[in-house]
Amino acid sequence: MLDQLLYVPIAAILYSYIAGWIREWRYRQSALKHDCALPSYLEYRPLGIPMAIRTVKAHWKNELIQLLNKIVDDSGKETFRAQTLGLLGYNAFYSSNPENIRAVLTTKFDDYSYGLRHDVFHPLLGDGIFTVSGSRWHQQRALLKPQFNHSQVYELDHFKHACTQLLELMRIYSQRGYFDMQDLAFKFTLDTTTLFLFGESTGCLDDEMKRLHENGQDQAGKTCLFAEDFNKAQLWMTYRMMAQSFYWMVQGREFRGSVKRCQTYVDHYVSKALVKREKQQEEQQQQPRQSLLDELTKRTRDPRALRDQVLNLLLAGRDTTASLISLVIALLVRHQDIQRKLREAVIESMGVNEENISHNQLKRCKYLQNVINETLRLYPVVPMNGRQVARDTVLPRGGGEDETLPIFLPKGAQFAYSISQLHRNQSYWGDDAAEFRPERWVNHGPKHSWTFLPFSGGPRACLGQRYALTEASYAIARIMQQFKELKGAPPGGPIKLHLSLTTRVAGGVSVQAS
């Protein structure tokens, strides 16, 4: 019996080689039929297991982006095809070529879908804008886009109270030593995003202040328990995403409980908004805009649809901006000369009082915008993204030795593109592409319009990018006004990233402000 069991792995390996050979022959025939050249092929025998092991190890060491960048650098190619994990595997394509990325996001947009993403993220995000494709996505986009064209979206009043609390907490914690700026940044953006979405803030920073004033005793309210549940649910979804087609195996009581509590929390505000809409209709009142949720109830009364949209926007609104603020601070404490220059630029443009800050002044403070752009270039909040090929299609670059010929992608194939690699490509950004140098933005931006994509591009470009940039600009400007110096805890060292659904600085951002 034992002898017979030994034949199983041998048979599996042989089967994978035979299946791989057949798959390769079919791919070459299809490429020839579509007048396409072959891209480079990276093979990881047996069964793609070696690469799967390297990927898992790199993720746990917070070195996944470095690993992916190394694979690309070692290949010497911008575009290639790779073997994936499994007996049959499937065609997986990778590219950081801007022409290919533009094709996927615009000209060939309808040739791609999100594949498994809907099922992977559905427990928490439901049928929201980040999980659906096709006609359902077009409906979601039409529902949400008008909400981000409203002038009130960019009023700084959304951020003022929370930012004042943020600065005060930074001052208090700095008197005690170093503190985690990233933790405060995520609480700050949760407060501002919920205020924007619900018309009421979770008050996480207020809870933090209350705890400090009560002799350090843990008096955190239920609102910050929501943040904990939201973080846990995201972590579980990251594991589901990494499991790929085995996502359904990744679940548990903690995951289900966190998701349920997050949904219950949001359902409370959805119910309030629907009751308010009913009352306004009965009394034939026309109220001024109070929250995004209030506006959405004008377009739909479906509580499930409203909850799904709010949770999707909450994920984007909190995490994207918090990560950006954290990364800016992490870079500034490592580059004191740039920090001093930024502080001088902010004070010259807006003085030392918050009353002088306006949306236009933030946009006109060029060095502030240069620092933010350079941060997003080196550390895009979503460094990798992907699609599933919905029908046979062709990309313009990647074939042949010089990668100038088109390549064929069969239906069902996976396509991944790296914004991180694109943003560090010396062909587009110069020999110092790996350096943090905001001055590169003074006289010119990227040489190619599709070489800088911190918020993606095409129809699926981030709806809230202006909101995120306004909030981050405001917070950083006020920090520069308030403090003369931000110091990082030694040793500084290179920034390591923890990848979940978005990017965070691994280990936090240890800072002391004075």
Distances (CA, A) of 413 to 27, 52, 104: 11, 18, 13
Query: CA 417, CA 80: separation in Å to the nearest integer?
Result: 11
**At which residue do the structure tokens 């979940």 appear?**
500
Q: CA torsion sign, 160 to 164 to 170 to 171? A: positive
Q: CA torsion sign, 103 to 106 to 107 to 113? A: positive
Query: CA 209, CA 213: separation in Å to the nearest integer?
Result: 6
Query: Would you state the pLDDT for residue 281?
Result: 75
Closest CA to 370 of 391, 395, 345: 345
Q: CA torsion sign, 198 to 202 to 206 to 210? A: positive
Query: CA 251, CA 330: separation in Å to the nearest integer?
Result: 34
Query: CA 20, CA 26: separation in Å to the nearest integer?
Result: 10
Query: CA 291, CA 131: separation in Å to the nearest integer?
Result: 23
Token couple for 203: 């008050």
pLDDT in tens, 328-377: 999 999 999 999 999 999 999 999 988 899 999 999 999 999 999 999 99
Helices (H), 103-156: 117-125, 134-144
Below-70 pLDDT ranges, the chain: 1-10, 12-13, 15-17, 19-20, 43-49, 83-90, 151-152, 215-223, 282-289, 444-448
Torsion of CA 259, 260, 262, 266, to 10 degrees: 140
Query: Would you state the pLDDT for residue 368?
Result: 98
Query: Would you state the pLDDT for residue 15?
Result: 66
Neighbours of 314 (CB within 10 A): 24
Full set of structural domains in the chain with CATH: 2-513 (1.10.630.10)
Averaged pLDDT of the chain: 87
pLDDT in tens, 238-257: 888 878 778 888 888 999 99
pTM over 0.85: yes
Query: Would you state the pLDDT for residue 289?
Result: 66
**Residues sharing a CB contact under 8 Å with residue 213, sequence separation 6 or more, in sequence order:** none
Closest CA to 398 of 23, 101, 114, 66: 101
Query: CA 319, CA 187: separation in Å to the nearest integer?
Result: 10
**Residues sharing a CB contact under 8 Å with residue 438, sequence separation 6 or more, in sequence order:** 338, 342, 367, 370, 371, 373, 374
Residue 262 known to bind ligand: no
